[in-house]
Structure 1
Amino acid sequence: MTRILFFMTGIFTLIMFSSCMSNKGLQDRAPAQFNEVYYTYDSNGIELNIPVRSIQNERISLDAVYFHGMKSNLEKSESQPNLYVANFRMGSKDMVMHEDPKEEYGNQPPQMPEESPFSIDKDEAILVFTQDDKIKYYKLTGIVEKE
């Protein structure tokens, strides 16, 4: 009898841990409907553009993204209301180098690498979003480079 009780307790514990672990994984369902996600290179680095077709603003907020070994916050574009943009600084070509360190004020260092919590390819990104006050992750795939 005690063996059966011990066995049932063990199964219950495993079920509880596996359900908690699944919440920290990648989400299967997208938090919004996206158009083609793309990136461009500019003088400071990479700009990742995530066009959103529809999103439930009251329940979901798009917070950050992991892309090309870096992490950046997402900001809503001022000119296009359904576009979220992440900027990854790779170093500016126009850095001021001077013998007086005060003259170098304003130089921005390149962004430090930050490893993604999940394995991703070059054409993928991990979207960090909040849904109902819970942080979740979604893998964006098929990201293309535009000029």
Structure 2
Amino acid sequence: MKNVIHLMAGIFILTVFASCGSNKDLQERAPAQFNEVFYTYNSDGIQLNIPVAVIQDERITMDAVYFHGMKSPLKKSEEKPNLYVANFRMGSGDMVMDEDPKKEYGNKPPQLPEESPFSIDEDEAILVFTQNDKMRYYKLTGIVEKE
């Protein structure tokens, strides 16, 4: 009887901890009004561009994005104030290879893959943002490639 009580208590505690860790839900409502989201390939890898039409800067912070099996922080463009950019290094740029390791110092390694907390298609991304001090997720769809 005592073992059954210990087993039930253990299962209860595991259930509580498991439900806390899986409290990641996609938001139905967009944190901002987005224009057409697109990506381009450059010498370093992929650049994802998220143009924002309207956002409440005082309540929402755009943090990161999952795209094509990688995660990258979002940065506000200096040239265009309503554009957020994420860069994903693919390791395809020119690398210096030399006997002297000091000459290879500037080489950037490719970005490591990082799985998205949600399943997404090739034309989708998961936007990670903070709203009222809580981390939230939103799925961006219909992302197109531009040249």
Separation (CA, whole Å) in 2 of partners of 1:92 and 1:37 = 23
Separation (CA, whole Å) in 1 of partners of 2:93 and 2:135 = 36
Deviation by residue 1:72-121 (Cα, 9 ceiling, x = unmatched): 00000000000000000001431000000001001000000000000000
Separation (CA, whole Å) in 2 of partners of 1:43 and 1:26 = 33
2:124 partner letter: E
Length, aligned pairs only? 131
Separation (CA, whole Å) in 2 of partners of 1:55 and 1:22 = 28
Pairing 1:69–2:69 present? yes
Separation (CA, whole Å) in 2 of partners of 1:71 and 1:21 = 19
Structure 1 gap segments, 5+ residues each = 1-18
1:129 partner letter: F
Length-normalised TM-score, structure 1: 0.85
Separation (CA, whole Å) in 2 of partners of 1:42 and 1:23 = 36
Q: How does 1:73-88 map to 2 (within 5 A)?
A: 73-88=73-88
State the 1:23 CA deviation.
Answer: 5.4
Pairing 1:142–2:146 present? no
Separation (CA, whole Å) in 2 of partners of 1:69 and 1:20 = 25
Q: Which runs of 4+ in 1 moved over 4 A?
A: 19-23
Equivalent residue, structure 2, for 1:103: 103
Structure 2 gap segments, 5+ residues each = 1-18
Residue identity (%)? 81
Equivalent residue, structure 1, for 2:39: 39
Separation (CA, whole Å) in 2 of partners of 1:33 and 1:64 = 17
